Amino acid sequence: MFKLLDRPEVRLRVLTMDRSRLGDAAESIPEIVEGDPRDKEVLGRATEGIDVAFYPVRFVGADAEFEERRRVFPGMYRDACIRAGVQRIIFLGSYDRNAAGNEALLSMVDIGEVLSAAPDRIRTVWFRAGLILGSGSLLFEALRNLAQKMPVLPVPRWMESEFTVIGVRDVLEYLIHAIHVPLDRSVEVEIGLEPRSFRDMLSETARVMGLRRVFLPLPLEAKRLSPFVLMLLTPFSVRLAALFLQTLDTLGTIRGGSSAKTARSLFPEISPAPFHVVVARAIEAIEHEEVISRWTDSIGTASRSNTDEEISHSVYRDIRRERFGEIPPHKIFRAVKSIGGDHGWFRFDLLWRIRGLLDKLAGGFGDSVGRRTESNLRVGDILDVWRVIDLRENRRLLLEAHMKVAGKAWLEFRIEGETLVQTAYHYPKGLLGRLYWYSMLPFHAFIFPDMIRSIIRQAGRLP
């Protein structure tokens, strides 16, 4: 999306369920349609007068309603585009048709087949990509964390399986060039680098990072143990680690057939960057705080309006107020936005880290996710064990717990005149939720007063 904003010949229209999740970028987007994409009227407004439509929608879930959305919506989207006279749909999916047992990959294959099921009425460019590698991707998080934290790396057999990857910049180049590429039919285009093993990628990542690592081959798969090792060494939950390994196991390699040749014939000007260059770019993006998106962006999203309604029904509240006097409000808010990540949680940071570890051991993500960048925050960002739900500059920061809290919990910071108001909310689930709140109260007694005072002290030291 950000790449398209830089192209003068493109007038961008974005369909989103929650405008606030676009952050500052919303000011630069010519047209925004806000609403439920499953609503035919919303889809009609979004597709009216459009020449090219991208299909980036991902539904996340595991229930019957999710299955219905996953199967029905692509057809609704395709039909809405046909009614509106859209000339082509561009879709980024998986190239592997042999994805039995992997619902994520099967979903992308199903979507591609539905979107391209009416070639006589609308053209479709279906990119079948290898695993995407970039500063915010799952694959890079796994490679970077393992290379950083393990001087000696055991190599189970699954690490020797080969699969195809492609850099996120190259993916964006393909998507953008697909807008204007001449088409007389719908096409499937396989994109990616030559296949290589996870072990080779890990070795190359360590080399780019300037690290020497020892690899010890193991004569076993270790499929049951590996998710727990990944959980402890990466920001992944054990469930996500298992899904990640399943995806690596399921992914095949580019077959080099007619679909792979299509990429070279349609896009001769694009030459995908080699693996070591992609890794170097990802590391540079992190070091310069230029990470635009992360794998966490699509996990457990919530809208501000729904959250505010839930908060109004919260059972427990811990409210702290502290006057900040002559310190400018914008400095107070800068200090509020700096919490977490490498900056930590003031005097009782260790307790937050222990809480994160307990959450991870209970099957959650813990606090190892950190922050997207240390200097910037936006709606949807993960901040250690919290997710940013609402951010109104110099007025309000609302965080929702991204950990297991036996219900729902929020942490809110508001500036009211010369007073900083810090409120912890909890909506308990059953008796266990109530026991959880009361078990945390002794910690609240010293963590929360220290937090609000430390924020004000830090704000007073800001230039």
Contact 409, 427 (CB under 8 A): yes
Amino acid at position 268, single letter: P
Looking up tokens 């108001």, which residue turns up? 421
Beta bridge partners of 89: 53, 124
What token pair was written down for 49?
Answer: 């007068």
152-155 and 214-217 beta bridge pairing: parallel
What token pair was written down for 37?
Answer: 């994409």
Architecture of the domain defined by 300-461: 2-Layer Sandwich (3.30)
Q: At residue 184, what are phi and psi to the nearest 5 degrees?
A: -115, 5
* pLDDT of 364: 85
Q: Sign of the CA dihedral 89, 95, 98, 99? A: negative
* pLDDT of 382: 87
Q: Could you read off the pLDDT tens digit of each residue along the chain, which spans 463 residues?
A: 667 767 777 888 999 887 877 766 777 888 999 988 888 999 999 999 999 999 875 544 444 455 556 667 889 999 999 999 999 999 998 755 555 455 555 567 778 888 999 999 999 999 988 888 998 888 999 999 999 999 999 999 999 988 889 999 999 999 999 999 999 899 989 898 888 999 999 999 999 999 999 999 998 888 889 999 999 999 898 988 998 888 887 775 545 445 567 788 899 999 999 999 999 999 998 888 777 777 777 665 555 557 888 898 889 999 999 999 999 999 999 999 999 888 889 888 898 889 888 888 888 888 888 888 887 888 888 888 899 999 999 999 999 998 889 999 999 999 999 999 999 999 999 999 999 999 999 999 999 999 999 999 999 999 8
What token pair was written down for 28?
Answer: 């630069």
Amino acid at position 108, single letter: M
- Best CA proximity match to 268, nearest among 211, 189, 340: 189
HEC per residue, the chain: CHHHHCCCCCCCEEEECCHHHHHHHHHCCCEEEECCCCCHHHHHHHHCCCCEEEECCCCCCCCHHHHHHHHHHHHHHHHHHHHHCCCEEEEEEECCCCCCCCHHHHHHHHHHHHHCCCCCCCEEEEEEECEEECCCCHHHHHHHHHHHHCCEEEECHHHHCEECEEEHHHHHHHHHHCCCCCCCCCEEEEECCCCEEHHHHHHHHHHHCCCCCEEEECCCCCCCCHHHHHHHHCCCCHHHHHHHHHHHHHCCCCCCCHHHHHHHHHCCCCCCCCHHHHHHHHHHHHHCCCCCCCHHHHCCCCCHHHHHHHHHCCCEEEEEEEECCCCCHHHHHHHHHCCCHHHCCHHHHHHHHHHHHHHHHCCCCCCCCCCCCCCCCCCCCEECCEEEEEEECCCEEEEEECCCCCEEEEEEEEEECCEEEEEEEEEECHHHHHHHHHHHHHHHHHHHHHHHHHHHHHHHHCC
CA distances from 193 to 94, 106, 165, 243 (A): 14, 22, 6, 23
Looking up tokens 């189970």, which residue turns up? 156
Q: At residue 135, what are phi and psi to the nearest 5 degrees?
A: -60, -25
Q: At residue 87, what are phi and psi to the nearest 5 degrees?
A: -85, -35
CA distances from 364 to 389, 405, 423 (A): 19, 10, 24
- Best CA proximity match to 110, nearest among 152, 145, 151, 67: 67
* pLDDT of 373: 83
Contact 78, 122 (CB under 8 A): yes
Do the two domains 130-165+193-254+271-295 and 300-461 of this chain adopt the same fold? no
- Cα of 331 vs its chain's centroid, Å: 29
Residue ranges of domains in the chain: 130-165+193-254+271-295, 300-461
- Distance, CA of 200 to CA of 276 (rounded, Å): 11
- Other Cβ atoms closer than 10 A to 313: 9
- Best CA proximity match to 43, nearest among 17, 69, 70, 6: 17
- To the question of domain 130-165+193-254+271-295 being in CATH 3.30.1380, the answer is no
CA distances from 85 to 11, 88, 90, 127, 390 (A): 17, 9, 15, 22, 37
CA distances from 349 to 295, 398, 409 (A): 25, 20, 19
pTM of the model: 0.82
* pLDDT of 56: 72
Looking up tokens 């501000």, which residue turns up? 304
